[in-house]
A and B are shown apart, each in its own frame.
Chain A
Amino acid sequence: MADRITLRVTRYRPESDTEPAAREYEIPLRKEWSVLDGLNHIKDHLDGTLSYRWSCRMGVCGSCGMTVDGEPKLTCATFLSDHAPGPVRVEPLSNFPVVRDLVVDIGDFMRKLPRVKPWLIRSEQEAPAEGEYPQLPAERAEYEQFSMCINCMLCYAACPVYALDQEFLGPAAIALAQRYNLDSRDRGASERMDVLSEAEGIWACTFVGECSAVCPKDVDPAGSIQRYKFTAAMESLKTLLLPRGMR
């Protein structure tokens, strides 16, 4: 294994650049170094002006999503040695406006997320529970997969539907809505349905499946969307066929 590797990092300084340009940095190649470690080395020793987001270094915070050699990746979970001999292309996540260097603005997602009400909804008339809402392990298993989402935005960066139509609610927001819809303690499924089943909700998804392929937490947003399409179709069928009392 060579002991050096080149990172070709996209730089964009809004105050001076009209568009991003790649810049190369040669860094040590160590077996245990992730791409994020490489970026930290650049920041600490080669060029302190490089901007990028990171926090936990262990695939929990979801901050360090970037495009590595064309693929949306968590840079803390992508090893330099897997991309040797390089050069390794490090670019900001696709489909989001670039604020600076490798930092993107995810405000669009942050505005969409509360629309699907990602919290436990209980009826207001209900008296506060005496202590807690118990849940069986099997009931927890129903939504656990979708609760693993860390909002890293890799799914949005991989989604061609979102690239072409920014109004699309998007994979993570829908998966997180399902996380609460499938929770036995939740009563808000009907409140979420209007947002989820609008044209820019689940029906905009054409099942490319890349969101699930790039998800570092195996959330399977594509699966959750297809599952909700089935639920929404059944619901509208019920509305059409059944009298009001039986729905």
Chain B
Amino acid sequence: MSEKSQYTQFHPRWYRRRVPVFWWLRRPSYLLFVLRELSSVFVAWFVVFLLLLVNAVAEGPEDYRRFQDWSATPGMLLLNVVALCFILLHAVTWLFTLSPHAMVVRLRGRRLPPALIGVGNLVAWMLASALVAFLILG
């Protein structure tokens, strides 16, 4: 889209509009899309954070305490709160927007509406979280 116009046999001079740099601020859905793409960075960060935690646990109580102190610093807290917001955006998109449209679920020959699949996903998510909580805390 960089060329302003071009000559061809049938169209004397086309006009091609450039995509503005801030195109993603034009609509809420575009902004949400760019934020969602950005969320992958924070998903990666959470993976790294989890690996560091596992490593600290494996190294012994001294390292684990140092990891906890490091995690409690204001900078890390802020980073993780921001990361959590992005992860939630990522998860909510998957559960309620993407997968209900990607999946075709039939009950007695009739196709379930996407909203119902979203609710089903939410229930499955809650159950999985409860199971994990039970395994860790119980």
Contact = CB atoms under 8 A, between A and B. Distances in A.
Interface of A: 12, 14-15, 18-20, 70, 94, 97-99, 105, 138, 160, 163-164, 166, 206-210, 213, 220, 222-223, 226-227, 229-230
A32 B16 CA distance: 34
Contact of A226 (B19, B29, B37, B98): B98
Contacts of B24: 160
Of the four ranges (under 10, 10 to 19, 20 to 34, 35 or more), the interface on chain B belongs to 20 to 34
Interface stretch (B7-15, B49-57, B80-88, B130-138): B7-15
22 contacts: A14-B5, A14-B14, A94-B17, A97-B6, A97-B14, A97-B16, A105-B11, A138-B109, A160-B24, A160-B30, A163-B23, A207-B33, A207-B93, A207-B97, A208-B33, A210-B29, A210-B30, A223-B101, A227-B102, A227-B104, A230-B102, A230-B103
Nearest to A230: B102
Given A14-B12, A227-B101, A163 B29 contact: no
B27 interface: yes
B1 A98 contact: no
Contact of A229 (B33, B93, B102): B102
Nearest to B13: A14
B30 A209 contact: no
Nearest to B29: A210
Given A160-B23, A160-B30, A163-B1, A19 B15 contact: yes
A210 B14 CA distance: 26
Nearest to B32: A208
Interface of B: 1, 4-6, 11-17, 19, 23-24, 26-27, 29-30, 33, 36-37, 93, 97-98, 101-104, 109, 114
B23 to A, nearest CB: 6
Contacts of A226: 98, 101-102
A23 to B, nearest CB: 15
B102 A206 contact: no
A222 B16 CA distance: 26
Contacts of B16: 97-98
B101 to A, nearest CB: 4
A108 B119 CA distance: 40
Contacts of A138: 109
A70 B16 CA distance: 17
Nearest to B18: A163
In the complex, the 4 A-B pairs of residues with the closest C-beta atoms, listed nearest first: A97-B14, A226-B102, A14-B13, A223-B101
